A and B are shown apart, each in its own frame.
Chain A
């Protein structure tokens, strides 16, 4: 078991210098999600206009894996249509299963591929992506 497989430089950079951390005052769809088994929590906010994610922010408390994943996800999702965002979620799931998938539009995400070798930490990496799915569901089905 190689720790460096998990804690890659890119991940630590996103952990220590988080992108898009913060809150919108208004005009955003907000979802709170907890990981009840470990206490990690995230509040994800998306501004969606005509089916396109214009901006994304998050706040939360969690480990380096969950918070760096949130940082990457919010950076990657900006400018994407909701369908493209759903496709990213699906690709991220494949990445967690150890499959060889590309994130050409935001390569940092591929650094999380090592999480696959640490099964106990997969739920950390997927927390923010589950929040993203909830936001999209809310936007598409509850309007």
Chain B
């Protein structure tokens, strides 16, 4: 564990079209989880799991406008967030700010279909980037696989 109480969960990879990303990950030995549509962000999502490598969440646009559209205008793909589990997200954020980090709330807590209904929230950390927090005990992270 660390001073913020965060445990790494996955990389968030935004892609224009998922087929090549899935092909690459499959060749590395990743297992592809089910595809779900996130109605709050209007994106498609699929987690890819590996026994020895970090999990990767592949995110791609749907037919509706989404927050990743502009990011993908000038590039085909981008790892744009890192996700961590946090048993006490409020305490984690407080400790980050006490450590001198500037943290901006980006998406308020909401249940995530992809993670068994656990709440997730997003924050932008100055000088680091976007992080997603799954509001659950890190020990429960393995039960989030779908």
Are A and B associated in one complex?
Answer: no
